[in-house]
Amino acid sequence: MSLGGYIDAYVAWDNGRPPARSRAFTTQALRHSEFNVNLAYIDLDIIGDFVRGRVALQAGTSTTASGIPGAESSTDAESPLARHLQEAVVGLRLGDRTWLDAGVFFSHTGSEKWITSENLTYTRSLIADLSPSRLTGVKLTREIRANLSASAVVVNGWSALEETNADKTVGLRADWRLTRRIAIAYYNLIGSETPDSVPARARFFNGITGTYTGSAFTISATIDGGRQETDIRTSSWWGAAVLARLQLMERWAAHARIETFQDPDRVIAQSVAPFEVWGTSAGLDFKHADGVTWRSEFRNLRAYSPVFAQYDAESGLSKLNYVFVTSLALTF
């Protein structure tokens, strides 16, 4: 049994200067021109021979981002605890290499984590922020071989901590380590997100990730997407991100990312126009031996249509958005 926690304080400057200070299409560095806490949590981990579990309570601006899967949704708002519950999961060992977990747990989709210190870059890519980060249900995990594992989930829905209809969503993930340095992963999520008052309409989401981890250089590439049935036709979206990190010195590292998210029918991205965006970012990290990390990043996004808040534009919107953020975090 172990007790730990994390505090990530930041300040960010957004060129669009959003009127309400909350930036769109992101969970990280949510607030413009404001000192705040991105994420703070305290957790209790239990690891035994036959039982395991984790409970973590969280707060911070990342948990209140609107229109983002995994942040506060309409159903979460009905239960104030939902956005403050990072994980609450208990696991039972069913065999030598098989576990059954139940509760609220991190999503099996994607390659980027909810906790920023575990990612190559400080901000999360669009495909990470616009995909589920937490799920509620059960998960079966099996280590098939030393270099191959798989998991299956049955959950309430697309980042639904509380159920929104009578249907359940299912998903799979497989992780295969090809060599000591190269790994690939495949994941999917299939279900219906429509309310019970209308006919069920299938949503299918899947993706693949490849990662190379060297002694000083790490690169990860992910592409995923999905399709959603509608009254008229089937809509689709897709996105991709390539992240890299280079260790410069013992405590200094540089990171960068290129990304895109293409959602012309706005199935996932809640924008006023077709959401077709490309972006880049670059940053620098300093990690102290006592668990303190200073991270800074510049991120630039460009869209084909005006979708980003812009204080001095006649329409209030712009095709361009950039932000600079600097953060000081402590893991204990």
Residue 263: is its pLDDT beyond 50? Answer: yes
Q: Is the per-residue pLDDT at 293 higher than 70?
A: yes
Residue 318 has pLDDT above 90, yes or no: yes
Please tell me whether the overall predicted TM-score, pTM, comes out greater than 0.85 for this model: yes
Would you say 33 and 17 are in contact if contact means Cβ atoms under 8 Å apart?
yes
pLDDT at 69 over 70: no
Could you tell me which of 158, 154, 170 has the C-alpha nearest to residue 134?
158
Nearest to 151 by CA among 165, 167, 138, 140: 140
Instruction: Using DSSP bridges, classify how beta strands 217-229 and 320-331 pair: parallel, antiparallel or unpaired.
Output: unpaired
Out of 64-73, 93-102, 230-239, the most confident range is 93-102
Q: At 73, is the pLDDT very low, low, confident or very high (cuts 50, 70, 90)?
A: very low
DSSP string, 158-202: TT-SS--SS--EEEEEEEEE-SSSEEEEEEEEEEE-S-TTS---E
Does 79 have pLDDT greater than 70? no
Provide the pLDDT for residue 127: 97
In this prediction, residue 171 has a pLDDT band, given cuts at 50, 70 and 90, of very high
Residue 275 pLDDT greater than 50, yes or no: yes
Whole-number Å distance between alpha carbons of 266 and 326: 31
* Mean pLDDT, all residues of the chain: 93
Q: Report whether pLDDT(251) > 50.
A: yes
Residue 191: closest CA among 60, 278, 69: 69
Spacing of C-alpha 252 from chain mean position: 25
Q: What is the mean pLDDT of residues 292-316?
A: 96
Q: Which of 98, 124, 150 is nearest to 255 (CA)?
A: 124
Q: What is the pLDDT of residues 183-206, one digit of tens each?
A: 999 999 999 888 877 787 899 999
Q: Can you tell me the mean pLDDT for 16-27? A: 93
Residue 317 above 60 pLDDT? yes
Domains of the chain from N-terminus onward: 2-331 (2.40.160.10)
pLDDT given for residue 78 in this prediction: 45
pLDDT of residue 70: 45
Amino acid of residue 232:
I
Q: Tell me: pLDDT of 75 over 50.
A: no
**The token pair that represents 148 in the structure block:** 């191959």
- Least confident range from 77-86, 152-161, 208-217: namely 77-86
- Count of positions (residues) in the chain: 332
